Structures are given as C-alpha cells and as structure tokens.
Structure 1
C-alpha cells in the first residue's frame, strides 16, 4: 500500500494505492480503511481513476478533519503490512482531491442521511454536497427543493471545480435518482 501525505492544505489529504482496479474494489478499500484507521467524523474519502505509466486502476484519497487524525492515519498506513502500490498513483489521488478537481466521494459528512428517499433540499442541507445537477436538463435548470430523490442507498458525488456535485437523473413519478447505480450490469452481460 503506497501512500502520499500532503499536510499543506486546510485539511490534510492522504493518497492510498492498494492496487485496486475497479471502483467497487476502491469502495471496499475505503470501507476497510474506515474501520482499520478508525477514521473520524468529517473525513471525506474519494476514489480516483488512475492512468500513469506504471498503473491503470483506482486509488483513494482521505481528507481528514485535522492534522492529528491525519498523522495517526499516516503512521498506521506506513506500519501496515499491506502490499505496496504505486507511489505516483497515491500522490495523484491526493493532489486531485486537495485541488478538488476530481474524486468520487464514498464517505463524506452527512452521507449517513442519504438512505431511502430524501428531498433535494434535505440532500443539500444535511450533507456536504454543494450542489446537484440533472443530467440532460437545460443549462441552469434546477430541480425544485421538494423533489424526491431515491438514493438507492448509494450516493457518490464528485469534486468538480472546487464543489462536491451530485449528478442526478430523472426517475418515475417526477422524482430523481443518482446517476450512478449501486450494482451496474456489465455492458456485455447478456451477450454470453
């Protein structure tokens, strides 16, 4: 497991590469790190697609709420006996998260409120998601605050231009749902 530590920002960010290749594996890595590192409330954990000369796959970034918890997590990661990943991939994940240019948030403040169906207003008020967009909507068109969002217990906003943005799609009955579904069917599953 390679890590990169950038304590320069307001909130320290760690990049971790454990050799994961898919978003699903990276999601599981974040869940495992949440437990093994005892990540404190306020942590933002993201997945990143990595494309370097040495690596194609995914890495994760962990933005911790304070320097002490970041130093503890860093120390634990350095002492772990996990397989070594690519240092460049870990650094890339940390840099992208720190700049808030990219990263698919799996763990973020308020995520625990996004189960079942919630309104757009609650989604924005109870979480660290800055805004929502509706895929296919005309530019600037926003859903009404009372519009129901069927979370499917799987909400993955992304960093875009410094904001945590959730892409939504229209669903039945004038409702919305996250663009990313929890268990996508592989493209060629029916082609045998």
Structure 2
C-alpha cells in the first residue's frame, strides 16, 4: 500500500513535545483512520525532532500539507528517514494494560515484537504491560516494538513513558 507523507519541522528539541504536536495535529486536522504519525531525530548542526504524518490518499496529504503551511509550519513532502518512531498508528489507542504479544499484534499495526538480549521472538502468549506508552519503530519496512523483561516474567516496552532527563540529579 502506498503512503503519502509530509514532514513538519517545528524546531522541537525533545520527544515528549513531538508526541504532543502529533496528537494536536491529528485532532486539529481530523485525520482519517489509518494515519501514521512518527517522530524522527535530525542530527547535524541543528539537532531537533521533526514529525511526519503518512496517509493512504494523495489528496489527503496535499490537504494536510496546505493546512499546515497555512498555520505557519515548515512542511516538506515525504519522510526524513525510514526509521521513524510511531506515535500514531492503527490500534495504538487500544494498547492498554497488560496484553499478550498475540493480542498486541492482532489489535495494532505492529508487525513484530523483539526483546532486548533475547534470541528470537517472544512467545505469542508472553504478556506485555503497555504502561499506555507503546512506541514501535520502523525497521526495514516493518513496525517493530522493542520490549524488555520486567518483574513477574512480563515484558514492557523499552521506551518508558516519563524518562528522567539527563543530569536531573545535578
């Protein structure tokens, strides 16, 4: 399936602000079901986080591009890289509480789950405690959630919902 994407550079410096921007844009633009909203890290002389919105219809992408530009956003066609971190994706809103890996895969656009330090994939009956913060990443055209072992034999997404900022205790 072909996707049409636009990237928005709002000069953001952190993922939390980028997540918020994606949710705000999705609500303001009343985006259709099936939208993918991702964050992308841009390195270089001006490090920042940009966001992309990918939809199935070219006319919807053109409308999104036009409306975002009219709001004063810096907008470009396409995505800046193929490894975006997905915030908005089909099924993201139902990944709540503790679910089996099989439930996660069947309820969402996530294609597979990997576990840090483990060979192979987790068993379909393995339990994942979502913490209501599931951020898979694109890898070779698949949406992949990286998880890690947790207390009680469960798994949790590798990315924590409220990370401690670097040097917070200094």
State the TM bucket, normalised to the shorter chain: over 0.9
| Aligned residues: CA RMSD | 1.7
Confirm whether residue 33 of structure 1 aligns to residue 14 of structure 2: no
Q: Normalised by the size of structure 1, how large is the TM-score?
A: 0.83
Identify which range, 170-179 or 62-71, moves more after superposition.
62-71
Give the counterpart of 2:40 among 37, 48, 58. Answer: 48
SS, match of residue 19 in structure 2: helix
Unaligned residue ranges in structure 1 (runs of 5+): 1-8
Judge conservation of contact 2:22–2:37 (CA < 8 Å) in 1.
yes
Give the counterpart of 2:66 among 29, 52, 75. Answer: 75
Deviation at 1:72, TM superposition (A): 1.5
Deviation at 1:67, TM superposition (A): 1.6
Show the counterpart of 1:174: 153
Residues 7-50 of structure 1, C-alpha deviations (whole Å, 9 max, x = no match): xx811010110111111111111011111111111000000000
Q: Distance in 1 between matches of 2:47 and 2:168?
A: 23
Q: 1:114 to 1:74 in 2, by over 3 A?
A: same
Unaligned residue ranges in structure 2 (runs of 5+): none
Q: Distance in 2 between matches of 1:95 and 1:48?
A: 7
Give the counterpart of 1:64 among 34, 50, 55. Answer: 55
Residues 81-120 of structure 1, C-alpha deviations (whole Å, 9 max, x = no match): 35xx4x6xx56x7142xxxx31000000111110111110
Where does 1:117-136 land on structure 2 (aligned, <5 Å)? 117-136=98-117
Number of residue-to-residue matches in the alignment: 170
Show the counterpart of 2:91: 110
Show the counterpart of 1:94: 79
Judge conservation of contact 2:40–2:80 (CA < 8 Å) in 1.
no
Q: Distance in 2 between matches of 1:73 and 1:27?
A: 18
SS, match of residue 159 in structure 2: coil
Q: Distance in 2 between matches of 1:16 and 1:48?
A: 10
Judge conservation of contact 2:22–2:87 (CA < 8 Å) in 1.
yes
Show the counterpart of 2:139: 160
Show the counterpart of 1:145: 124
Deviation at 1:58, TM superposition (A): 0.4
Deviation at 1:179, TM superposition (A): 0.1
Show the counterpart of 2:164: 185
